[in-house]
A and B are shown apart, each in its own frame.
Chain A
Amino acid sequence: MTAVAEPRARPQPSALTRLRGWFRNPWGKPRALKVVTWLYILWSIVPVLIAVQFSFNATRSRTVWDGFSDRWYWGDPVDSVWHDPALSNALAQSFKLAIADVLIAVPIGVLLALGLARWRGRGSGTANFIMLFPLVTPEIVMGVSLLLVFSHVFTFIETGTTAQILGHVTFSISFVVVIVRARLFSIGRQYEEAAADLGATPFRALTRVLLPLLMPAIIASAAVVFAISADDFVISQWLSSGGPTDTVPVQIYAATRAAPLPSVNAIATIMMVSTLLIVTAGFLTWRLLTRGERRAGKAAEDMGAFNLN
């Protein structure tokens, strides 16, 4: 099984030896890889942390640090997130869309996943095929098509909150299906069959056996849907009717192209923290509900599976 000299198999050298080895051959494997990885992580996260820092800046600058203040959150009577109607409306709109999206897309997606996994008849192949498309369609194509459908076909729906919710649900359903279907495959059919053998009707087997087993995936997909809805820019922008229907990403976009204040950093920080909290809560619930199902060392794989975005 072995015969490959793994660097990790040797006893751990002391820090000094490692440092010396580092100087002698800084590009030996896998040190170079390690450096690249950590530099990448710094590069991907530090700019965001700096942006968060400047949301607490005491002055109007987003580049020169002048001390800590909460003015851009609520202190400033005009320009803070709390007092600027454009920003507070955007925050409310983002949450409104994300919550509505979760409430509509998750049930529809769970039912669709169940249907697609169990339905073996005419039409199921087509349905499976259609379901994949929203995952790979560039958002601008979706934005254009939804805008045109609301202006030429479903003319009773005008751009604004309703159109935005319909758009968000459209791109969210497929994510729910993918997450729930993965779970369906991993739990297999034996529980349902056992329930059927014990006399349960298919509907009772679904509600009493299958849905509780699917709960981790349902919670995970709710968190994912919340996050992709809160993050969405293109669909929200194309279907916005301006003013109070602009979401946080739309406001950030508009403000960044004008002359932004640190209040933009503040609203972005609020949104980021909310999303990260919800995703973390979703992930922890998933772990809690699936504990006992895992083999050792599968945590990393789970995390990869949890994130499909």
Chain B
Amino acid sequence: MYRRWLWPASALPGVLWLVLLFVVPFYAVLAVALGTVDPILFQPVPTWNPLEWNVGWLNEVFTRLAPGGIWFDVGVRTIVYVVIALALCLLIGYPVAYYTARHAGRWKGLILILIIMPLWISYMMRMLAWVNLLQEDGWVNEVLMFTQVLSEPQDWLGGRDLTVILALVYGYIPFLILPLFAALDRIDRSHLEAARDLGASPWSAFRRVTLPLSKTGILGGAVLITLPMFGDYYTPNIVSGAPSTSMIGNQIDLYFHGGPQPTIGAALTIVLAAFLTILMLYYMRTIHRAQREAGTVGAL
């Protein structure tokens, strides 16, 4: 009677793998962050028993992130970067997804391929492309000087907020457009036709039918790019490298790669993961509600 255990057995290797290399590692971060540090070697000593956990390092991280702390600016900057980048992504991505889903007609296949293509091009390649263009003698300066926007070349890669934000937008926007497209493409045209038949103006039909029905796509895409953006450290490093554009991820990177105290890095990782989990839970609640609302619209 192996019918009963065939399926659990088939799931077993995968479950075991994820427990050993995803759940246990996360527990290891907790154990290090809430552990102690060897007083002589300055090496982290993980504490495996939750009853003996020491919250000193977490407190240290919170003190540093609080107003007046040395990471306060970094924390605020990270949030500002992510919020602006997300807003720009939505501002550019929504019209693109909307056009592709609604109006592209016979070009739809081609446009979709071109929109998906950046997802399959290495992130580093795409960043490298911009680093080339943004050089002192690169094409961006050339074009801006040729069109008289600039009188002399600018150092775009020398720690500018604008460069980092635009790099984040460039890097993450394809991941937003795809879920947006999927949500917009799913909307049944008859809802819109009904709205127009009942006298809604095109704008009002968009605002009261299309927008609410694409809400799950907007939220899903937003979360999909917000979570990795909060953990990003390589983008600011590549297009700026200056401490003035450093994000939370850069602090974690710093404390592990060459930094003196992995324990602080681990504690900061825990704080970041907790913050992102809260975002995630908020998203799941909103999705749940949006789906219920969409259900009512569909029923109407």
Contact = CB atoms under 8 A, between A and B. Distances in A.
- Whether chain B is bound by chain A comes out as yes
A274 B11 CA distance: 32
Contacts of A256: 124, 127-128, 131, 238
Nearest to B14: A112
A293 B46 CA distance: 54
A3 B194 CA distance: 9
A194 interface: no
Contact of B18 (A32, A119, A136, A173): A173
B280 interface: yes
Given A41-B114, A140-B233, A257 B273 contact: no
A87 interface: no
Contact of A253 (B10, B46, B124): B124
A103 interface: no
A146 B32 CA distance: 12
A239 to B, nearest CB: 11
B226 to A, nearest CB: 10
A231 B28 contact: no
A304 B112 contact: yes
Given A36-B99, A303-B113, A138 B231 contact: yes
Interface string A279-309: 1000000000000000000011101100101
B119 to A, nearest CB: 5
A130 B11 CA distance: 12
Interface stretch (A13-21, A67-75, A147-155): A147-155
B119 A307 contact: yes
A149 B28 contact: yes
Interface in A153-182: 153, 166-167, 169-170, 173, 177
A33 B98 contact: yes
B11 A146 contact: no
A127 to B, nearest CB: 5
Nearest to A149: B25
Interface stretch (B55-63, B68-76, B100-108, B288-296): B100-108
Given A1-B190, A233-B124, A152 B96 contact: no
Interface in B19-35: 19, 21-26, 28-29, 31-32
Contacts of A10: none
A139 B18 contact: no
A17 to B, nearest CB: 18
Candidate in A37, A146, A206, A257 with the most chain B CB atoms within 10 angstroms:
A37
Contacts of A145: 22, 25-26, 28-29, 269
B17 A108 contact: yes
B241 interface: yes
Interface in A253-281: 253, 256-257, 260, 264-265, 268-269, 271-272, 275-276, 279
B65 interface: no
- The majority secondary structure among interface residues of chain B is helix
Candidate in B132, B173, B273 with the most chain A CB atoms within 10 angstroms:
B132
Contacts of A269: 125
Nearest to A144: B269
B151 interface: no
B199 to A, nearest CB: 11
Nearest to A305: B182
Given A30-B99, A136-B227, A230-B122, A48 B129 contact: yes
A43 B252 CA distance: 32
B221 interface: no
B54 interface: no
A230 to B, nearest CB: 7
A41 B24 contact: no
A253 B234 CA distance: 8
B124 A249 contact: yes
Contacts of A202: 2-3, 6
B231 A115 contact: no
A8 interface: yes
A275 B131 contact: no
B293 to A, nearest CB: 23
23 contacts: A29-B202, A33-B95, A37-B95, A37-B100, A47-B129, A47-B132, A48-B129, A112-B11, A115-B11, A119-B7, A136-B223, A139-B231, A145-B28, A146-B21, A177-B14, A234-B234, A248-B124, A256-B128, A256-B238, A271-B122, A300-B109, A304-B112, A309-B175
Which 4 pairs of residues, A with B, have the shortest CB-CB distance? A115-B11, A138-B231, A112-B14, A145-B25
Given A50-B129, A307-B116, 20 more contacts: A4-B196, A34-B99, A36-B95, A44-B173, A62-B132, A108-B17, A119-B10, A140-B233, A140-B269, A141-B29, A142-B25, A148-B46, A153-B24, A153-B25, A202-B3, A252-B122, A252-B127, A253-B238, A272-B122, A307-B178
Interface of B: 2-3, 6-15, 17-19, 21-26, 28-29, 31-32, 44, 46, 92, 95-96, 98-100, 102-105, 108-109, 111-133, 135, 137-139, 170, 173-175, 178, 181-182, 185, 190, 192-193, 196-197, 202, 223-224, 227-228, 230-234, 237-238, 241, 249, 252-253, 256, 262, 265-266, 269, 272-273, 276, 280
